Amino acid sequence: MKKSIVKLLLGLFAFAFAFMPASAQTSTNVGKIFPDVPANHWAAKQIKELSEAGVIVGYPDETFKPDNNVTRAEFASMAIRALGQENTHVIQPVDFTDINKDYWAYDMIQKALYFELISCPPTGQPFRPDDSVSHAESTAVAVNALTTETISPQKAKEVLAKVYSDYANIPDWFLISAGKAEILSMNVIVPNTVRTMNADKPATRAEITVLLKNMMEQAKLNPNKKLADAMRKKTGNGYIVEQAYVQGSIGTIPAGSIIPIQLGCEVNSQNSKAGEIYLAKAPENYITKDKFILISKDADLKGTLSDVRPGKLFIRNGVLVLNNDCIVTTNEQTVGLRGVGEVYKKKNWFVAFLRTVFKGEKLKVLPQGQVYVKLLQSIKVDLTNGWIIEEL
């Protein structure tokens, strides 16, 4: 239970946002078309779509700067968000010589390694996070996100020679990835320009946006094995939330749904006081009718006793009401989860009649006892990783 308290003290929204450098991409214009991206810009459609999806963001002055370059760290972060894996937890991080855990994109780079978007470096290898990402590097990452058919270097050259005037200058390490990207129509060519691969040239923000959109579409069909596992909705047995429903990979628990919580301490109408804090757990998985896991077993919950009145003979029956405030999921996400639960005793008709007439009922819930809570808000959950993505 000490662990639960420590988690809860981290704050309700400790994990709500990834940190970004001030010079990078902090803005209030997510979801808007940017003033420096006219409607007829060749990448306007993709920029708008990925902005609305939260994959890319603009600068503090609300511009997008489509011709600016993108750093390797920024691109790793964009790629992970594009694949919807920003909430993945990496257990065994890899060390680089030029970044540490305090670096703003450290976690995203580790996720890119975990999902094999970038290669695991030898010991002592730098990541070069602030270098501009090249066309070759970014395209290779996009291809690594996929399960693709094997092609030979000769096949790759044949495919590329039909399109790119500089195919002979494509680095050997990039040749296969470039060929696969071309076969899948993923390579980005700016309209009304000479068709060159420019493998070593830094990619612009507009080019990266289009590439990410192409990668997202292909990953829906043929993700690599680790991504496929991560993108699969998790299933299991547990308590069925009858009103919950699923759209794609998102599960919704509507307001009014009933869930059981297991208390960590005794509460009773005779000795407990209104305002006291309680800690609890999810006693089992909360699942949909199709067994998709909405909230995993052992998620921590916290709330207060909002109404406590002792039972007095002939005067009143005891009252014991709990107001749930927040939940800490098993992936250590802390969010608000408002709900109310009133403690009742199960009674047959005769006892119920006596308590109505004579009153005086005392209420008690022992440690490990359950209370059913009615949610006062809806929440949306990513069924692939258990991350609560929206509270309504």
Does pLDDT of 44 surpass 50? yes
Please give the single-letter amino acid code of residue 85. Answer: Q
- Reduced to 3 DSSP states, what percent helix, strand and coil does the chain have, rounded to the nearest 5? 25, 20, 50
Res. 378 pLDDT band, cuts 50 70 90: very high
Q: Which residue has the higher pLDDT, 348 or 351?
A: 348
Domain extents in the chain: 17-231, 239-391
Mean pLDDT of the region 18-39 = 55
Per-chain mean pLDDT for the chain: 88
Residues 6 or more apart from 192 whose CB is under 8 A from it? none
CATH number for the region 239-391 comes to: 2.40.128
Q: pLDDT per residue over 238-286, tens digit each?
A: 999 999 999 888 899 999 999 999 999 999 999 999 999 999 999 999 9
β-strand 300-309 against 334-342: which pairing, if any?
Answer: unpaired
Res. 333 pLDDT band, cuts 50 70 90: confident
Burial 37-66 (b: 16+ CB within 10 A, else e): beeebbbbebbbebbebebbbbbeeeebbb
Roughly what angle, to the nearest 10 degrees, separates helices 135-144 and 205-221? 20
Question: How many helices (H) and strands (E) in the chain?
Answer: 10, 15
Taking residue 232's Cβ as centre, other Cβ atoms within 10 Å add up to 12
Q: Is the pTM of this model over 0.85?
A: no
Taking the alpha carbons at both ends of the chain, their separation in whole angstroms is: 28
The per-residue pLDDT for 390 is 58
The per-residue pLDDT for 18 is 32
The per-residue pLDDT for 220 is 87
Which range among 2-6, 137-141, 223-227 shows the weakest confidence by mean pLDDT? 2-6
**DSSP codes, 240-259:** E-TT-EEETTEEEE-TT-EE
Q: Which residue has the higher pLDDT, 381 or 31?
A: 381
The per-residue pLDDT for 19 is 31
Mean pLDDT of the region 47-59 = 91
- Kindly state the tokens that stand for 283: 């006693």
Res. 119 pLDDT band, cuts 50 70 90: confident
Mean pLDDT of the region 295-307 = 97
Does pLDDT of 185 surpass 80? yes
Which range among 58-62, 86-90, 369-373 shows the weakest confidence by mean pLDDT? 86-90
